[in-house]
Structure 1
Amino acid sequence: MRVIKWWLIAMLTLLVMPVWADDLSAQLNQFFKARDPLHAAGMNVVVRTPEQQWPTCAAPQFSLPGNSRLWGPMSIAATCDRERRFLQVEVQVTGEYVVVNRQILRGTTLTASDVLVKQGRLDTLPARAVLDPQQIVEAVSVRDLMPDQPLTLSMVRQPWRVKAGQPVIVIAQGDGFNVSSEGRALNNATAAQRVRVRMGNGQIVSGNVGADGNILISL
């Protein structure tokens, strides 16, 4: 009788576990898709933690460490009442990413014709991968690039909006006033970057490069 009893318990456990596995997977997928709705359609969450270490309740509360990345392997806390367990999961995402379609030499200004959009696993790409070709149009490569190579933002820089030695207009803005004067840039800078300027009287000031190339200083 005891053997039959334990056999029945084992069979019931086997019947219940797949349902709970599907349930936990569905909850995790819902959690991560809500966190990144832009890529929800191509997302799938795989639980790597063995089932015997899963939370014991049917609807755990999930939370992530601060500054956690969006995709790839990570740890997520699952809390049931006062019990907290950590699950190792892999957030897999399929979507579009950008590659170069020919060899690109360092210092080349990229155009839309230099890149292709491909479909694949985004979570396996290098950090800061380019997902939108508009991010790199008119950007300048800072290294040689090979055909079919996924682009990252660290491989390019925005074009110089101001170059060292270039005459610039410095605009100082404050509460109720706006003063402009001429100076000469002391370093290269892209739009929104910081640049140092030598004014006509020899004074050196620092400001941010505006989209129009003027240097903006807030007082």
Structure 2
Amino acid sequence: MKFAVLPLLWMLALPAVAALAPQWQQELQQLTEQAARAALPPHAELQVQLGAPDPRLRLAPCEQVQAFVPAGQSLWGRSRIGLRCVAGAVRWSISVPVQVRVFAPAWAATQALPAGVTLEAAHLERRRVELSAEASPALAQAEAPLGRVLARPLEAGEGLRQSHLRQRLWFAAGAPVQLRLAGSGFAVKAEGQAMAPGLDGQPVRVRLDNGRTVLGQAVGPNEVELAW
């Protein structure tokens, strides 16, 4: 992703940086929202709160300042965004704390639920959930994950996340499995033998009848999907 250079002129050296200039705040806010929205699900809402740089920083005068997203930085939850001098006697680069909160409809508990409970319709409701509150993805699909077993407890009103659910075992090591490979306008199926237990969504090796092994993903009862 490319970001335009911000035409900001800073003619006087600041002995310390206690807060961002108003124009910097606006540009950083827009840049953060632009980068965060690229990964937003449908019907999601975004809230961005910029922090202040370290007040002990001393920066040299700069004729042109550029805002940027640090490489590999995810702008969900607590993160950082950068400013750097690209035209000045002394080049410098700083980072500014930012908190990005993402809200969207997802499944949440209607009541406190202990670990080990098998989810039923009465246990769940659709409501506004902060997706960015935890690293584990919130469950926002249209159909409720009924029949799944909780691996850890849920508080009333708490959003249901992938880490709350006990991982499903689709097949045991040594079990016969169906392999499928689908692409644009074609589908291929084959049979093989699982070389390890098939945990939901996890990679598993399968031995084919000719002795070759392939790596796929366990996706259902005795079903393995191959990557295309």
For the superposition of Structure 1 and Structure 2, which TM-score range results when normalised by the shorter chain?
0.5 to 0.7
Q: What's the offset of the Cα at 1:108?
A: 4.2
Structure 2 unmatched runs, 5+:
1-19, 182-187
Report the counterpart of residue 168 of structure 1 in structure 2: 177
Report the counterpart of residue 8 of structure 1 in structure 2: none
Amino acid at match of 1:144: P
Report the counterpart of residue 93 of structure 2 in structure 1: 85
Determine if the alignment matches structure 1 residue 47 to structure 2 residue 51: yes
Amino acid at match of 1:137: P
Report the counterpart of residue 187 of structure 1 in structure 2: 197
Larger CA deviation: 146-155 vs 159-168: 159-168
8 Å CA contact 1:54–1:87 kept in 2: the answer is no
Considering fraction of residues, name the structure with more helix.
Answer: 1
8 Å CA contact 1:140–1:156 kept in 2: the answer is yes
Q: What's the offset of the Cα at 1:28?
A: 0.7
Q: What's the offset of the Cα at 1:98?
A: 4.3
> Could you tell me how far apart the structure 2 residues matched to 1:131 and 1:180 are?
32
Report the counterpart of residue 127 of structure 1 in structure 2: 135
Amino acid at match of 2:31: F
What's the RMSD between the two structures over aligned residues?
4.4
8 Å CA contact 2:101–2:130 kept in 1: the answer is yes
Structure 1 unmatched runs, 5+:
1-19, 173-177
Q: Secondary structure at the match of 1:36?
A: helix
Report the counterpart of residue 99 of structure 1 in structure 2: 108
From the CA coordinates, give the structure whose radius of gyration is larger.
Answer: 1
Report the counterpart of residue 74 of structure 1 in structure 2: 79
Normalising by structure 2, we get a TM-score of 0.59
Amino acid at match of 2:33: K
Instruction: Provide Cα deviations, 1:90-135, integer angstroms capped at 9, x if missing partner.
Output: 2242523543223434444545653334446555x22224162459
- Identical aligned residues as a percent: 17
> Could you tell me how far apart the structure 1 residues matched to 2:97 and 2:171 are?
46
Normalising by structure 1, we get a TM-score of 0.60
> Could you tell me how far apart the structure 2 residues matched to 1:24 and 1:117 are?
38
Q: Secondary structure at the match of 2:170?
A: coil
Distance 1:115 1:182, change over 3 A: same
Q: What's the offset of the Cα at 1:206?
A: 6.0
Distance 1:213 1:99, change over 3 A: same
Instruction: Provide Cα deviations, 1:21-63, integer angstroms capped at 9, x if missing partner.
Output: 3211110111111101138853223232267858755862122
> Could you tell me how far apart the structure 1 residues matched to 2:131 and 2:192 are?
47
Q: What's the offset of the Cα at 1:157?
A: 4.6
Report the counterpart of residue 6 of structure 1 in structure 2: none
Q: Secondary structure at the match of 2:25?
A: helix
Amino acid at match of 2:52: R
